Amino acid sequence: MKINFDGAVLADQGAIRVGIGACDHQGEFYTALSKLIPSLASGAEYVEYKAEWEAVHFAMGYWFGTVIFEGDAKDIIIDIQQEKNFFSPYVHLAEDIYRQCKQLLTWKFKAVRRQGNVAHRLACSAQESSNDNGYMVWIEDPPSFLQ
């Protein structure tokens, strides 16, 4: 399974929005998530760590055994992949991401360009289609803005 993740700051709402998209080994859409998270922190590093953390927990919830995680925060991805971050102020997220990944059969993080990251569109575009609780899930049929 391949899981794209990204986050966006919604400063006017005091929140961040995380987008996660999953596709199978043939590139076929499987499921996607857009989640609004109230947050006082809004820096890019925090948003990317939080998106990565949500993606890993998303994978664990679906019991995906083998996962390639793709995001556009290259430095954070390298740190987690090499288990060497941990100077970040978000060390608690980094350590939990790594600990959760160890429960998967195989896992890998890969940096992709923002243009190639479907989760970026989920994090940014889904704000208009979100329900009242800020949580949207699509299964089998992708949202219209991804088609």
- Say what percent of the chain tops pLDDT 70: 91
Measured distance CA(118)–CA(20) in Å, rounded: 8
CATH number of the domain where residue 108 is located: 3.30.420.10
Residues of the domain holding 102: 2-142
147 occurs within a structural domain: no
Q: Measured in Å, how far apart are the chain's first and last C-alpha atoms? A: 20
104 occurs within a structural domain: yes
Number of domains in the chain: 1
As beta bridge partners, residue 108 has 68
29 occurs within a structural domain: yes
For residue range 101-137, what is the model confidence (pLDDT) as tens digits?
888 889 999 988 877 677 888 887 655 555 557 888 8
106 occurs within a structural domain: yes
pLDDT of 147 reads 73
